[in-house]
Structure 1
Amino acid sequence: MKRSWSLLGEELARWKPGMTADEWWEGEDRFFRCLGSVLVQRTAWHNAKQAIGRMRELGLTDPVAVLQASEEELLAAVRPAGFYRSKVPAIREVCRFLLQVGKEEGNASDLRHRLLQIRGIGPETADTILLYVFDLPVFVGDAYAERIASRWFGEDLPKERIREEVLCEISDPVQLQLLHALLVELGKDFCRKRDPLCPACPLRSTCHSGTAGENPAVGRSDSRQGE
């Protein structure tokens, strides 16, 4: 069997047929997908959702409202997401970015470069915003993708190589969104960094580690991977 990113995407889609990016984001609109990408850094989505809820309660539901809010209001709203003193400045800068660029303005490379100039925005956050907010053909090469790909393909695949290989095969933003979302879900439910649930994994029959009977939690490919 020749493994490919397209095949991996098909296997994941069979696991959760009908799943959409809207469902994965729990119905959040594009503005809060954008801010959620910042809020979820170094914390769980549950905590980021609490911060989003507080922002909604305060009427901070668009870039202008966030930029006009006082520092005290924003700090109080973002506090549940943790690291709020560093996340608030990043959120303000992201809101300025959203006001400066239209949804159709610029290409992925230009917008990514501009996002990476914002303190607190790294490659994964920038790519998440471009993919889920601007619907641009980029891929988020995060720890989940790195871990699952290395095990499924049977070789070390660093994040940048993953980004390049995926985009060589898949260019539709909707498919890219679904692939990323499903990889995250698989990484949480089965393909964990430690104690992966290989016997129950829906990809076991096509996974290199699964078919080879290896213990994917042991080996060089996991030495640098996060949760």
Structure 2
Amino acid sequence: MKKLAAILTTASLLAVPFAHADDWGCEVLLCLSNPNGATAVSECVPPIKKLWKELAKGHAFPTCVMGGAGNSAELSNAEYPLCDEGFEVLQNGAYATTKQLFAQNRLPNGNVSNNIPVYMGSELKGVYSGGQNGRKEYPSMICVKKPVSATFVQNFSIVKNPNCANQCGNNSTFINRTVMVVDDVVVKSAYQGGFTVDVTIEGKLFKRVNSNSED
């Protein structure tokens, strides 16, 4: 079987019969590795559908011996997709906005409007909502494209006690936060259940696929 890195130079190679795949496990690896999507070509639909069905039955993930060292696909506990190439996760508690928003919200005196949209990095884990039928709710994952071209300090007010109405008098306070200005921001949501698979090519995480989204 040819080295997967060479096969992945063009997605069109996946549209031909699986001459390079020795068995179902290798078909799965090839299809999951397609940058255009695990089922982007019709030949990949049957092996990928079979994969999700077999995993739902509790069967083991198929292997591909002929994939070569450092090339594999395996189940993952990851709850979020990967950031796009060139992006990275905005860390918990960090703030960012884009160059475009920064330019649009500059005031004549050179300051930045407090109304500028700002993204905040969150702790990426599920928190159970209240109630008898509570379920896990996940914050959005913020992916930013660096480098940071500028930073600015934003002063804004927050409510001290959200459960207090008008009886608390002055119920707000002002805080400062430092905001990074980055090239671009992409917001991604957590997976809604399903099976998640990490694809490794030449020893590096190449792609993440979820059965309910097949990113």
TM-score bracket for this pair, using the shorter chain length:
under 0.3
With normalisation by structure 1, the TM-score equals 0.26
Greater share of residues in helix:
1
With normalisation by structure 2, the TM-score equals 0.27
